[in-house]
Amino acid sequence: MTTLRDSDWTVLVVEDDPYVAALHGRLVGSVPGFRTVGTATTGDQAATFVAKLRPDLAIVDLSMPGSDGVSFLRSIRYDGSDTEVIVVTAVRDTKVVREVMHLGVVDYLVKPFAPERLQQALAAFLSRVRTFRRPQLTQDEVDRVQASGANRLHRLPKGLKRSTLVSVRRALASSDHALTAIEVGEAVGVARVTARRYLEYLEVIGAAEMERECNGPGRPRNRYRLPSTPPRQPAVARQV
């Protein structure tokens, strides 16, 4: 990033799907102080835009035609670019995630994700660059910068309650089959829309799996269950 300031952070969206790129642009624009300055559809184009526009931040999909997101990350790190990167992708392969983490990304978001999750990543970016303003860092400040996106995934988005999240997970654990948002809502005592928000959050962080039920005409129903291999849980999870 060329300058460190508290407003007008510039963002490059790297995404080959026009609809998804537009969605990311709207999410960025909804956060005060951020604005999108360009959209690239390939890794090569993204590298050119970084050299020309020098954005503070790039939101990068890994799967693109031509030069992919990982190649793009390697190239800008080799060139010494200060542009920070948030990865937004459907890629879950462990080796890819590990390599991307080694390349120094701010965060790694797995599609699909709740809009609040990207807002958390933008907040992490702000915390990171403001910390790097200091001439020297304490251990706590180093820990804050070093904290991985995997840990931040378990901090609840605004509007979600830890107690309700626990109840939703208990409802899934007590059932011998995948449940719909309606069924979970009835078990927990919340509205279907509320239950769906918690279920989608659990699916995003890997604490639940979603499957589509298609029975005849009409919109398929989403059903949720606990994953066959439970994800590692942090010692403490807190709401942000």
Residue 6, phi then psi, degrees to nearest 5? -105, 5
Residues 25 and 121 reside in one and the same domain: yes
Residues 193 and 144 reside in one and the same domain: no
Count of domains observed in the chain: 2
Task: Single out the residue in 152, 174, 205 at which a domain terminates.
Answer: 152
Instruction: Check which CATH number belongs to the domain holding 170 and give it.
Output: 1.10.10.10
User: Looking at the domain assignment, is residue 107 inside a domain?
Assistant: yes
CB 119, CB 109: distance < 8 Å: no
Q: List the structure tokens of 159.
A: 């509007």
User: Looking at the domain assignment, is residue 232 inside a domain?
Assistant: no
Task: Single out the residue in 152, 172, 188 at which a domain terminates.
Answer: 152
Residues 141 and 204 reside in one and the same domain: no
User: Looking at the domain assignment, is residue 231 inside a domain?
Assistant: no
User: Looking at the domain assignment, is residue 237 inside a domain?
Assistant: no
Neighbours of 101 (CB within 10 A): 14
**Secondary structure class of 172 (helix, strand, coil):** helix
The pLDDT value given to residue 146: 65
User: Looking at the domain assignment, is residue 238 inside a domain?
Assistant: no
Q: List the structure tokens of 200.
A: 């989608």
Q: Supply the range of the domain harboring residue 93.
A: 9-152
Q: List the structure tokens of 229.
A: 């291999």
CB 72, CB 60: distance < 8 Å: yes
Residues 46 and 99 reside in one and the same domain: yes
Task: Single out the residue in 117, 152, 187 at which a domain terminates.
Answer: 152
Instruction: Check which CATH number belongs to the domain holding 36 and give it.
Output: 3.40.50.2300
Residues 146 and 189 reside in one and the same domain: no
Q: What are the strands, taking DSSP E only, across the chain?
A: 9-14, 34-40, 57-60, 84-89, 107-110, 209-213, 221-225
Predicted TM-score (pTM) of the model is 0.59
Parts of the chain with a pLDDT under 70? 1-7, 143-157, 204-206, 215-218, 228-240
User: Looking at the domain assignment, is residue 214 inside a domain?
Assistant: yes
